[in-house]
Every structure is written in structure tokens, then in C-alpha cells.
Amino acid sequence: MNGAELLVKTAQARGIEVCFANAGTTEIPIVLALDTTKGIKAILGLFEGVCTGAADGYGRMTGKPAMTLLHLGPGFANGIANLHDARRAATPVLNVIGQHATWHLPADPPLAMDVESLTRTVSGWVRTSESIETLSRDMNEAINASGFGQISSLIVPHDIQLAEARDEGIGGLDFVFDSVDADLITKAAQRMRAARKSALLLDGRALSRPGLEAATRIRAKLQSDLFAPSFFSCVERGLGLPDVQRIPYFPEEAISLLSDYDVVVIVSAHEPVTFFGYPGIRGHILTDEQEKLYLCRVRENPVKALEALADALDAPAHPIVRDAKSPRAQLPAGNLTAEKACLTVAALQPEHAIIVDEGITSGFTYYPLTASSPPHSFMTIAGGSIGYGMPCATGAAVASPDRPVINFQADGSALYTVQALWTQAREGLHVITLICSNRSYKILQLELSRAGITSYGDNARALTELNAPPINWVSLSRGFGVPAVAVDTVEGLARELRVGLAESGPRLIEMVLA
């Protein structure tokens, strides 16, 4: 058994089931080890951003890490943008990166670069394996570290992959993820009881079904309101689940919405801040006078912390979830707009659908429409790094092959990692991609109009418009092997979405928006 086989056996023994990969010569021993060691499926991405984004989607759905296999510094660099989103979503991801042989690296061959510095920009845990003796332990520690909702990056030189290993090297070291801090719980309970008006701000596993059940108990006791950040990892949503409000993207609305709470308990989330610094507007949504309490730290379990808080508050064990204020969205009619596209999806999405939203401006109106939709999972662009949607949908579909994935996808962002379509085709994944074709970087145009700019010169137009030529999405999608169709009416979208939901493989629908 060589080092590569030891590495893969360790991963397999720890329950890793999928490896999203784009390997090169320095990873060949690991590629071969994936053949000889059964139990881990290798899935090719045509670009590393597809691999890391898919690992993000997989991790958000399963709560456990997928492995990625990436080629040296440039390969890892191509995956950074989507790892940034995974980091902000606190998704467990396990990166394995090949490295030149230790004896060859000092020769500074063409592909050599500073891989460790690259990995540190997005990883909570980084190590370059230094010997075959520690390799299995390195891998175990990497897996443990990722389990706490971090990116782990293990760099493995080629000669260590090839070195002869002893079987005994595979070892345990399972991570523990059930601790809570009793003092934090007690203090939060005290402050919430004393508050005039309190809120819970939830992200990560706090937005899972058990997390929301505990939050619902607290809400039933104290009439606290439930919020999520503007962009978060994944929320369970729909009938029978509480309607968690998103903090609005633009700061004026966000500040206004949260201004009335004197105590905000933050669970697996960051303090809310504006997405960008706008001159004349404060960067923190909450004032210094509003009390902010953090219920748990990185290595503590937010679900157990919320349950402990509910217990500490003597909250009812099984409160009734209040009905959503509005009935289910109704199908609109006529020419397609961004708003009507949102209504159509909200009206038709089936139970257990996974919605991966990178609609950017086109998706602004979608979320509030779905409180009365059947239960579903809903993901957002947690770190704001565009190009996460298609890969994330791919990974979510790998994680949940029995659930349909609807990727509500802005056109400009889609073009960042459009290669994900091919992986969907190859793996026969049930992903329905809805392209919001508005042929512009609309968010930039919105920000320009906020800054008082409404007419552009040639350069500003060149950098904000995507027409001339327009992308032919049907042709592009078919080029990657995914059947595609374009629609410009609600009726067309409804028909094609129903077809896509009834079939099993991937499908792309270009929504030509007015």
C-alpha cells in the first residue's frame, strides 16, 4: 500500500463518499488509489471552480465533507472563489491538493507556486504532509477540522503519495460536535427574558429543521422574531416550518427592519453588516446600543445550543407553527419578468425541492413568496462570490439524488462556472437550471443608479451590458450535453418547468426576461 492508497482508505474509513476532482500528473497516484479502494466515487469537473462549488453544495445538504482533488497551485486557485462562498456558509469541505515531489520542488519547476499561502486565504485548516508516517493522521485531522464547518486543505507531495505505507496507519480521531457553553446559554436566556423585543439571527445548522424547531419553541415563548442574514448557507422552509425573514440586501431597509430589537441572539451567524461600504451609511446594521449575544462558538453545536436555550426559557416542547401570513403563490400569466419568474417557481416547486438561488437581482422577490410552498431547502450565495450556483446545484444533486434541484440562476453569474452543466449531464443529475436572461450585470446598474448615474459612456456600457452578442443559452447548454429550451412567457416557463420536474436528468430553461 502506498501513501495515496493510505490517504484514500483513511477518507473512506471516515465516511467520505464523493471526490469532486480535476487531477493532474502530481495527483496520479491518488487517481489510481480511487480505483483500487472502493467506496469513493470520483466525479470530474471541467474546471476546479465546479469541483469546489459542488463540494459546497454537497456539504450544505449532508453536513459532511466531500473531498476535492485539485492540481497544484493553479488548480487550487481556480477553486478559491467558490471555496470563499463555502467558507462563508461554514460548509465542511476537504481539499486534497497534489504537490511536486519534495526533492523536486526546490528546482522551482514551471507549475510551482506558493500553494500554502493560497490555501490559507479560504481554509480554516491547512497542512503540507511531511512524511508517510503522519499521512493518515494528517488526513484524519483534516476531516475533523472540516467537520466543524471549515475548509480543510491537505497538500500531499507526489513522493509521499508514492511512499510505501504500513496498514496500521489508518486511525480514528473522530471529531466531537455536541458541546454547548452553558454560561452563554444562561446569559442569553436572561437577556432575552429582560428584552423589550428580541430576535434570533440564524445561519448554518441553526437553519436546519431541528435548529428551526428549537427556534420555534423560543419564538412561541417570547414572541422573538427569526431572521437570517441576507445571504446564508441553507434554510429548511415552507409549510410547517417557521417563516425566517431575510435581512434585506440594501442597508436602508436592513437598518430599518432591525432597528426595533434591543436584544439579538446570534447563532452560527456573523453580526450583520452592509454588503459594501456605502458613503454616509453606517457599516454595521445594528447600533452599539442593541445588545448582540453569540450563542455558540465555531466548535459548538448550534442545534443543541438552541435546544438548551429553549429549555432554559421553559419554552413549550411542541409549539404549533403559525400559518404563514399569505397563501401559496399563484401562477401569474403573460410575458415573463423577473417577478413573474419568481412567482412561477414558488407556485410550482414540488415538496422536497432543493432551490439553489443565484438569481441576484432577478431573485429579489422570490424568497418571501415561499413561506407557504411545500417544505423545501433553499440556498444562497453565502460569500457573495459569483459563479457558485451551477456547481452548488450539481453537488446538492449528487448529495440528494432523489430530490429535484432547481437552480434559479442569473446569467452573468452563470457564465463564471457554466462548465458545471457538463457534470450534470455526465452524472445524469436532476438539476433544472432556470437562467434569468436579462443580458446585463443588473446589480451593477442598480448600484450605479444608487450612486446617481443613469447614462453611461462606452466603457461603462461595455462593462455592465451582456448583449452584443447575446449569449445563446440553448446552444451553450446543448454544447455541454444538457437539453435546453428558451421561453419568454409564464405559460412557456410553467410548461417547461413541469416537463423538467417530471423527467430525471438535467435541463436548462432560458427565461428571456422583459
Pick out residues in 452-471 that bind its own copies (CB under 8 A). 453, 456-460, 462-464, 466, 468-471
DSSP 284: B
Task: Lay out the site mask for its own copies across 247-286 (x = CB under 8 A, - = otherwise).
Answer: -----------------------xx-xxxxx-x---xx--
Binders of its own copies among residues 360 to 399 (CB under 8 A) are: 382-387
Cα gap 428→491, rounded to integer Å = 27
Q: How far is the CB of 468 from its own copies (least distance, A)?
A: 6
Cα gap 11→16, rounded to integer Å = 5
| Residue type (1 letter), 363 | G
Contact window for its own copies (CB under 8 A) among 55-63, 177-185, 324-332, 479-487: 479-487
173 or 451: whose CB is closer to its own copies? 451
Q: Nearest CA to 137 among 118, 117, 156, 115? A: 156
According to CB under 8 A, which one of 78, 144, 370, 400 is a site residue for its own copies? 78
320 or 468: whose CB is closer to its own copies? 468
The yes or no reply on residue 485 touching its own copies (CB under 8 A) is: no
Contact window for its own copies (CB under 8 A) among 168-176, 259-267, 477-485, 488-496: 477-485
Q: How far is the CB of 185 from its own copies (least distance, A)?
A: 25
101 or 331: whose CB is closer to its own copies? 101
β-strands 376-379, 405-410 pairing: unpaired
The yes or no reply on residue 108 touching its own copies (CB under 8 A) is: yes
317 or 468: whose CB is closer to its own copies? 468
Cα gap 323→283, rounded to integer Å = 35
Binders of its own copies among residues 399 to 428 (CB under 8 A) are: 412, 415-416, 418-419, 422, 425-426
Contact window for its own copies (CB under 8 A) among 104-112, 192-200, 210-218, 323-331: 104-112
User: DSSP characters for 442-505?
Assistant: HHHHHHHHHTT--S--HHHHHHHB--SSPP-HHHHHHHTT--EEEE-BHHHHHHHHHHHHHSSS
The yes or no reply on residue 90 touching its own copies (CB under 8 A) is: no
Q: How far is the CB of 158 from its own copies (least distance, A)?
A: 6
Residue bearing cell 469537473: 45
Per-residue H/E/C for 202-234: ECHHHHCHHHHHHHHHHHHHHCCEEEECCCCCE
Contact window for its own copies (CB under 8 A) among 78-86, 256-264, 326-334, 389-397: 78-86
The yes or no reply on residue 109 touching its own copies (CB under 8 A) is: yes
53 touches 420 (CB < 8 A):
yes
362 or 373: whose CB is closer to its own copies? 362
Q: How far is the CB of 371 from its own copies (least distance, A)?
A: 24
Return the H-helix or E-strand segment holding 154: strand 151-157
Cα gap 407→404, rounded to integer Å = 10
Cell matching residue 482: 444538457
Q: How far is the CB of 339 from its own copies (least distance, A)?
A: 23
Secondary structure class of 270 (helix, strand, coil): coil
Binders of its own copies among residues 35 to 74 (CB under 8 A) are: 35-36, 40-44, 46-47, 49, 73-74
Return the H-helix or E-strand segment holding 8: helix 3-13
| Residues paired with residue 22 on neighbouring β-strands, in sequence order | 70
Binders of its own copies among residues 118 to 157 (CB under 8 A) are: 118, 120-122
Size of the site for its own copies (CB under 8 A): 104
29 or 332: whose CB is closer to its own copies? 29
Per-residue H/E/C for 48-114: HHHHHHHHHHHHHHHCCCEEEEEEHHHHHHHHHHHHHHHHHCCCCEEEEEEECCCCCHHHCCCCCCC
Binders of its own copies among residues 284 to 303 (CB under 8 A) are: 284
Q: Nearest CA to 291 among 396, 434, 193? A: 193
Q: How far is the CB of 312 from its own copies (least distance, A)?
A: 30
The yes or no reply on residue 231 touching its own copies (CB under 8 A) is: yes
Binders of its own copies among residues 423 to 452 (CB under 8 A) are: 425-426, 443-444, 447-448, 451
